[in-house]
C-alpha cells in the first residue's frame, strides 16, 4: 500500500500540485484521472522519486520514501516497476536484453539460466514469446508497451506504475494493454497506479479512481459511482470524453459531426 500526504510541487513559482492526499491499495488498480496539465504525471513522478516534492510525505508499506535515507529509498525503488508513456525501452538492446536488464542489475545473485527462465516467463506472460531477438525499433507501439510491462514485472515488482499506458495505441490494443495490467495486478497482488485520461480505462480496470483538476484531487471513488458525481469538473471531463468518442464513432461510420 502506498500513502501520500499533502504533496506540493512547484516549477518556477507555479504550483502544479497543491496538497494531494491519497491511498493506493495493494492488489488494486488506482487510476489518476484528469485532463492534460492537471498534474497527474508530476504526481506520479513524485511518487516514484523522479521528482522531489516540495512538501508532503510518501510512504510505501509504512516505509517513508520522502526522507533522506538513501539505502531505504534504494530498497523501495528496487520493488518498483514502471511502464513509461513512450515505453522507454533501451534502444541499443534486444527485447530479451531489455527484460533481462533489471534482473542483471538488481539481482546479481541470479545465474544466467535463472535470468533467462524469468525473461521467458515474463515475455510469455505478455504474449511476446517469439520476440526475444527483436530490437525495439522493430516493434509496434502495442508490442513496445508489452515489453515495457514485461521489464517492469521481471524483478517481481511490488508496485507497478503506468504513465499513460494507452497513449498512441488503437482502441483494441488499448483494451488489451489495460486488461494485461489489470490481470497482472490481481495475479501478483501488486499495487498499481495508472495515469490516464482515457475513460475506457476507467470503465475497464478502474478499481479506484482519483480525479485531479488544477493540481488538486477533487474527487475519488470507484468506477461504479463515477457517473453519479456532482463534481462539475469531473462531469465536464466525462462529457467531453463521451462526446469525443461519439464524434469519432459518427466519423468512422461516415456521418457528419455537425449533426451529432
Give contact residues for other proteins (rule: CB under 8 A): 48-50, 70, 73-74, 77-78, 80, 82, 84-86, 88-91, 102, 104-106, 108, 161
Between 104 and 245, name the residue whose CB sits nearer to other proteins.
104
Which residues, in sequence order, are bridge partners of residue 83? Answer: 162
**Residue 90 CB, nearest distance to other proteins (Å)?**
6
Between 81 and 206, name the residue whose CB sits nearer to other proteins.
81
CA dihedral 130, 135, 136, 138 (to 10 degrees): -80
**Residue 241 CB, nearest distance to other proteins (Å)?**
26
Between 91 and 187, name the residue whose CB sits nearer to other proteins.
91
Between 80 and 226, name the residue whose CB sits nearer to other proteins.
80
Tell how many helices (H) and how many strands (E) occur in the chain: 8, 10
**Residue 257 CB, nearest distance to other proteins (Å)?**
31
Which residues, in sequence order, are bridge partners of residue 22? Answer: 4
Between 159 and 237, name the residue whose CB sits nearer to other proteins.
159
Q: Is 14 in contact with 26 (CB distance < 8 Å)?
A: no
Q: Is 165 helix (H, G, I), strand (E, B) or coil?
A: coil
Between 59 and 107, name the residue whose CB sits nearer to other proteins.
107
Instruction: Name residues whose C-beta falls within 8 Å of residue 224's C-beta, 6 or more positions apart in sequence.
Output: none
**Residue 138 CB, nearest distance to other proteins (Å)?**
16
- Give the span between the Cα atoms of 39 and 59, in whole angstroms: 20
Instruction: Name residues whose C-beta falls within 8 Å of residue 104's C-beta, 6 or more positions apart in sequence.
Output: 115
Instruction: Name residues whose C-beta falls within 8 Å of residue 18's C-beta, 6 or more positions apart in sequence.
Output: 8, 214, 215, 216
- Is 133 exposed, middle or buried, given 0-12, 13-18 or 19+ CB atoms closer than 10 A? exposed
**Residue 87 CB, nearest distance to other proteins (Å)?**
8
**Residue 26 CB, nearest distance to other proteins (Å)?**
19
Between 83 and 234, name the residue whose CB sits nearer to other proteins.
83
* Cβ neighbours, 10 Å, residue 24: 22
**Residue 152 CB, nearest distance to other proteins (Å)?**
9
| Cα distances (Å, whole numbers) of residue 247 to 55, 232, 256 | 42, 22, 9
Amino acid at each position: 500500500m502506498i500513502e501520500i500526504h499533502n504533496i506540493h510541487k512547484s516549477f518556477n513559482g507555479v504550483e502544479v500540485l497543491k496538497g494531494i492526499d491519497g491511498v493506493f491499495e495493494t492488489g488494486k488498480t488506482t487510476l489518476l484521472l484528469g485532463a492534460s496539465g492537471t498534474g497527474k504525471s508530476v504526481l506520479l513522478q513524485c511518487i516514484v522519486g523522479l521528482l522531489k516534492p516540495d512538501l508532503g510525505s510518501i510512504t510505501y508499506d509504512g516505509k517513508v520514501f520522502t526522507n533522506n535515507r538513501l539505502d531505504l529509498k534504494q530498497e523501495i525503488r528496487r520493488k518498483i516497476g514502471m511502464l513509461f508513456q513512450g515505453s522507454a525501452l533501451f534502444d541499443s538492446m534486444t527485447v530479451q536484453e531489455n527484460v533481462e536488464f533489471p534482473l542483471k542489475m538488481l539481482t546479481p545473485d541470479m545465474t544466467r539460466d535463472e535470468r533467462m527462465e524469468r525473461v521467458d516467463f515474463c515475455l510469455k506472460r505478455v504474449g511476446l514469446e517469439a520476440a526475444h531477438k527483436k530490437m525495439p525499433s522493430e516493434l509496434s507501439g502495442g508490442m513496445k508497451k508489452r515489453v515495457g510491462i514485461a521489464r517492469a514485472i521481471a524483478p517481481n515488482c511490488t508496485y507497478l506504475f503506468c504513465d499513460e499506458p494507452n497513449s498512441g495505441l488503437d482502441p483494441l490494443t488499448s483494451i488489451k494493454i489495460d486488461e494485461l495490467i489489470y490481470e497482472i495486478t490481481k495475479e501478483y497482488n501488486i499495487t498499481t497506479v495508472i495515469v490516464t485520461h482515457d475513460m475506457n480505462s476507467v470503465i475497464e480496470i478502474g478499481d479506484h479512481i482519483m480525479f485531479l483538476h488544477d493540481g488538486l484531487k477533487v474527487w475519488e471513488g470507484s468506477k461504479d459511482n463515477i457517473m453519479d458525481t456532482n463534481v462539475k469538473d469531473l462531469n465536464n471531463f466525462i462529457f467531453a470524453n463521451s462526446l469525443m468518442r461519439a464524434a469519432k464513432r459518427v466519423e468512422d461510420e461516415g456521418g457528419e459531426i455537425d449533426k451529432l
